[in-house]
Every structure is written in C-alpha cells, then in structure tokens.
Chains A and B, each alone.
Chain A
Amino acid sequence: MKNNTEGKSFLTEQELALGCARKERDAQGELYARYAAGLFALSLRYIENREDARDLMHDAMIKAMDNFKSFKYTGDGSIWAWLSRVTVNLAVDRLKENSRFRQISLDEVSGVEIENALEPDAESVRVIPDDVLDDMIAGLPPVKRTVFNMYCIDGFSHKDIARALGISERGSTSILTKARASLKKALTDYLNKTGL
C-alpha cells in the first residue's frame, strides 16, 4: 500500500480533503500514506517510546479522520498544519497524564541560571547527524522539550502553549528561554568536541 502509492499521488490536497470529509476509504488510505511517516516523526519528538509514539500517531489519525468535516482547506500545506496540531494537542494530553511531567514542571520553572553560551554556527548545525540532534532534543527535560518543540518547530504561539500545558504565558516564555539555553550548550559542546 505504502510503496505503490508514491506514483499515484496526483490527487491535489484539496481533492484529498474533500474525499476525507466524505469519509471515503480510499481517500483515508491516501491521507495515511502521505502523512503517517511525518506525523510519526512528529510524535517521536514528543514521546520517546516508539510504540507509544506510534499509538499516538494512530489515535491522532483516527481522530482526524472522524472529525475531518471540521477541517477547512485554506491552501497547500493546510492538511499538514491541521494534522500536526491535532497530534501535538493529543501528545500534550498524554504527557500531562504522566505524573512525572507535572512534578518536574514545577522545579523547572523556578530559577535556573541562564548561561550565555556562544551561538552555535548555523552551517555546522546543518551537518550534525540526525540521531545526534534527536538525542540532544530528547535529552532536554520533558517540559522544556515540549515547549521547545511546540514553539520552535511546530509553530505554536506562547498563548497556545500556555493553554495546552496549563501554565501562564510568562511561564511558557521563561521555559523556552531555558530550553534554548540548554540546547545551545549541548550544541556548542558537541561542536567543540567533534571539532566541527
């Protein structure tokens, strides 16, 4: 299924959206073939365990397919934007169920020194291998990682983050600042070590 749809993806995004809104099985299959791998990668940024992340992606897909009528097509890329929002919101809810996430969040908000590490060189960051970069982001504590992912990668605003995580906007900005500082340090350390 997955392999032989590559050549057939001539459906435009809008036609695909229309099919999914009518709950046509074929359109749903096509939706899955196009977006599942990307959403799985997104899920893995939030939930490390591969099986849990895959379950999350499946649940998000089911939820999206059930509620596709509420999706509004506003140009190319809008399906991905919508799917990723559904998935991230679901991921945040899963994370919040985890009591560890709540406990740690309190410690993190209280003052940790923000280090003023040097900005890592952008071109060097480009050549860091995928798995190393993944490990660095995964190495951030859960709350910092979630805020960083939501703001810097998946394009959520502080307002949305504050609402999803049940923290204040100010809390969200300060967690982000700390997450950036931690990641910057990890990047610079790695680049110094490997001499890139």
Chain B
Amino acid sequence: MKDWEEIIKERQLSRKAELPESDWNDFLSRKAEHERAAKRRHRILAAAISIPAAAAVLMLLFLVPFNTDVPDNQVSQNEPSEQPVIADSVDVNPVDSVTIPADPEPEKPVVKEAKPVKQLYAQDQQPDSQVEWVEMGDVAQNENLVAQNHSVTGAIYDFDSAEPIYSAAVMVYRVNGADTVYVGDGGTNDDGEFRIDKLEPGNYVANAIHYGFNDAHKSFTIHPDIATTDLGKIAMRGDQSLMLSEVAVSAVVAKVQMSNDSVMFNSAAYKLPQGTSVEDLIRKLPGVQIDSAGDVTVNGKKVSRLLVNGKEFFNDDKTVALTQLTADMIDKVKAYENQSDLDRQTGVVENEDEEELLFYLCAEHPMIVLNGQFADIDESKLATCNIWNNKVRKRDLARLLGIPARKIKSVKVYDADSAMRIWGEKGAHGVISVVTGK
C-alpha cells in the first residue's frame, strides 16, 4: 500500500460516527423485535409439535372409548412436555430488556461482576496479557508460535520495460503431491515487492496476477531453518491476448485443485481403461469414498446432491449415475459446499452438518460459435444450463452468452466429428453455432 493509502486507512479506522441520543434505545427495541420474532418461530414449532400430539390423543380417545384411564394418562403426560417451551420464552422478556438501560442504576452490576475478576490481578497492577490468555485455554496462538512463522518475499517486474509492477496480487498455494491448496495472498508495493507471512515449511507455488499481464508462476520450498525465503525478481509478460481478438488459453492442470469451499478433480489426470465406470473413477480420487449404498462422502462429509452435466440424473438416484456412466464421459468432478445463508452472512460457520455438499460431474462443454466467432461464455452459469445434448434451449444459450433469447435466430448443433472437420481441434467436444438477428 502507498503512503497516502496508509493515511486514509489510519484516518478511516480511527473514525467514530456520531449516533443519535436515542440510539441505544432504538437498538434495544430492534433487538427485542428480533428476539420476539425468534420466539414466534419457537412457538410455531411448539404448536406444530403439540397439534399432532393433541390429535393423537383425540384419536386414542375415540379408538379406546371404554378404557378411559389410558387417554387420561396421556393427556397429563403431554402437558408438562409443552410447558418448558413456554417457560423458556418467558425467560427472554423483551419488556425487561427495554427498561434496563433507561435507568442509570442497573449499570452497577457491571462493577459487581467485574470486581472478582479484577481481584485476580490485585497484586499486579498490569495484568500480563499472555498469562491471561493461556487461562482461556485457546490453542490457536500456540500453533502459530510453533510452525507458521515463515515468510516469503520477492519482487515483480514488467518483462518488457523492466519496471517494477505496483499493486499486483500474489497468491500462494501449498503443493502436496498432486494437490494444491490456497494458503494466502499479498500485494506488491511501489517497488514491486511483496511479502507473505505465516507460512509453514513445505513446497509452494506462487502465482502473480495483474491486470493486463499474463500470470507468472514460481515454485519454491520453505525450509524449517530459513525464516524468510526470497524468490528474487519475477518477470510478468504483458498479456497480448488483450490486443488480439482471439484468446489462447494454456494452463498446466493439476489433478486436484482445492480451495476453501470446493474440491475439483480433473479426470484426465487419472489414467483409466476405457469403459471404466464413474464409480471406479471416484474411488480413485483422494478423500472421496463410496459406501455400499452408493452414498458418496468427500473428506468425511456426505454428498447431498449429485448433478451430472448441470442436471440431476435419474431422479437423483446416485447409484445409477455412478455405475452406468463411464469415466471417459466425465471430464471434471467438482465437490462444492453450499453454506446456509446465515453462515455466509456472518462468515462464521455455526453448524458444520448443515452445509450442503454438491457434487458435479460434467463433460467438457461444447464450444459456442456466435455469428461465426468463438464466443466467451459465462462459466458460472454452466451448472444450471444444459448444453451437452441435442436439445439445447435458446434460453440456456442466451443466459450463457449474455444476450436476449429473442435475438437468437438459428441454432445448429454439430457433433464432435463434424465439428472437428470444420473447426479442427477446437471442435473436439462439439460445437453449437448460434446466429443472431436484429
């Protein structure tokens, strides 16, 4: 970051915005409203449980009209079971919470509460934060002390002008056999220098990216004895494709790519005989297991939905998809965690079990030719668009190309053989030719 940015940061972070006098009360009423809403949900749930229970009791009354003892017992058993729910909700009294702050007196409990804690440090005027901290029993910092104290530095420059590149981003991935895992990133300063801390010893790849330049990669190893590893100067070449209309894509694909929420396996990296089922392919993938019922787990987490080429296959019958499809039909297997909305908002994962794990299997998609030119498509929409068979819908194509569906005049689907005759290598997965009109 530049000097002026540091100053803006410092100034912005020290700011306190003035709140209206009534703010604390406004907050409490909002909080009380929030708690009431939570309570309402609680009550609905309680009602949902108690209504069937009551219905069951009534049913019993009708079914056993002579044996009156039994239903009586049931009713009396049922009532206490409902009561804790009501008692619980009374506990969080919203009226109570509004009245507390208006009165200055209730602040005293803070003092009372704090005193015993204070006495811990009575002899020592300045409590040692380190000691205090160990009392909490938190181990996170200890781990840091042990391993994550290594750093990597380097400088990025423009190959053509030999000038340093400012504001390039450097991502560091840990390499473990065939896996790469993202571990951290940093930006470059005026002199093109970057520094990434808190790394453990091991093998890594640094990937520098910057607008207008091709990515630069550099592998390195962090030795336990060397605190700071210097990568020296790394050159980035200007991205010629920005100026040309055609983009040449070249990449070295790892067997497995991992990030925090998804794992992607490239099936081409696993050599299998022809006719092998997807099930056998999946068994070979690290961290993936299939049990006898056909349920797939990735890193111990159960897969809840399985999508093939963006669609549920055979009414979500996992065993059919896994045993009937052959591995050569599948080019990519992707496991993806679908967090609940609340977890995504707070960034705090509350209940690990509630995460939904989606499993995509997909073939390389056919290229789309728009008015005679290869078109860029929005890859993120592929999961929900089906362009793998002959019944391609205009709507799906329009979404992928980002144009209105009514503009599409004609669509032609070429299979791999005929597409390769016309377009060569690029047609290897088929081509969909789209012509638009006004």
Taking Cβ atoms with an 8 Å cutoff, the residues of A that contact B are 1-2, 4-5, 8, 10-12, 14-15, 19, 24-27, 29-30, 32, 36-38, 40-41, 43-45, 54-55, 58-59, 61-63, 65, 67, 70, 72-76, 85-86, 89-90, 93, 114, 119-122, 125-126, 130, 133, 137, 152-153, 157-159, 163, 169-170, 173-174, 176-177, 180, 184, 187
Q: B29's closest neighbor in chain A, by CB?
A: A58
Contact string against A for B residues 154-184, beta-carbon threshold 8 Å, 1 for contact and 0 otherwise: 0000000000000111010000000000101
Structural contact, B111 and A8, CB atoms closer than 8 A: yes
Q: Which residues of B contact A157 (CB under 8 A)?
A: 184-185
16 A-B pairs, CB-CB below 8 angstroms? A12-B127, A14-B129, A14-B132, A19-B113, A24-B113, A27-B110, A29-B107, A30-B110, A59-B30, A63-B346, A76-B129, A86-B348, A93-B345, A170-B209, A173-B209, A177-B167
Query: Please, how many residues of chain B have a CB less than 8 angstroms from a CB on the other chain?
Result: 63
**Scoring B residues 229 to 265 as 1 if CB is less than 8 Å from chain A, else 0, what string do you get?**
0000000000000000000000000000000110000
- Chain B residues close to A by CB (< 8 Å): 1-9, 11-13, 15-19, 23-24, 26-27, 30-31, 34, 97, 100-101, 104, 106-107, 109-111, 113-114, 117-118, 127, 129, 132-133, 136, 138, 140-141, 167-169, 171, 182, 184-185, 209-211, 260-261, 344-348, 350
Contact of B4 among A4, A25, A119 (CB under 8 A): A119
Smallest Cβ-Cβ distance to A181: which chain B residue: B167
Chain B contact residues: over half helix, strand or loop, or mixed? helix
B171–A169 CB distance below 8 A? yes
**Once bound together, how far apart are the Cα atoms of A116 and B10, in whole Å?**
24
Residues of A within 8 A of B31 (CB): 58, 61-62, 65
Q: How far is the CB of A149 from chain B (nearest CB, A)?
A: 8
Contacts of A159 in B (CB 8 A): 171, 182, 185
B1 nearest CB across to chain A (Å) = 6
Q: List, in ascending order, chain A residues with CB within 8 A of B11's CB.
A: 126, 130, 133
CB–CB B7/A2 < 8 A: no
Residues of chain A within 8 A (CB-CB) of B211 are: 114, 170, 173-174, 177
Q: If A37-B19, A74-B141, A122-B4 touch, does A153 touch B185 (CB 8 Å cutoff)?
A: no
The residue on A at minimum CB distance from B9 is A153
User: A137–B114 Cα gap in the complex (Å)?
Assistant: 41
B132 touches A158 (CB 8 A): no
Asked if residues A1 and B104 are in contact (CB atoms below 8 Å), the reply is: yes
Contact B12 A158 (CB under 8 A): no
Residues of B within 8 A of A15 (CB): 114, 117
Task: Determine the distance from Cα of A24 to Cα of B31 in the docked complex, in whole angstroms.
Answer: 14
Are B185 and A74 interface neighbours, CB within 8 A? Answer: no
Bound Cα distance A108, B109 (Å):
53
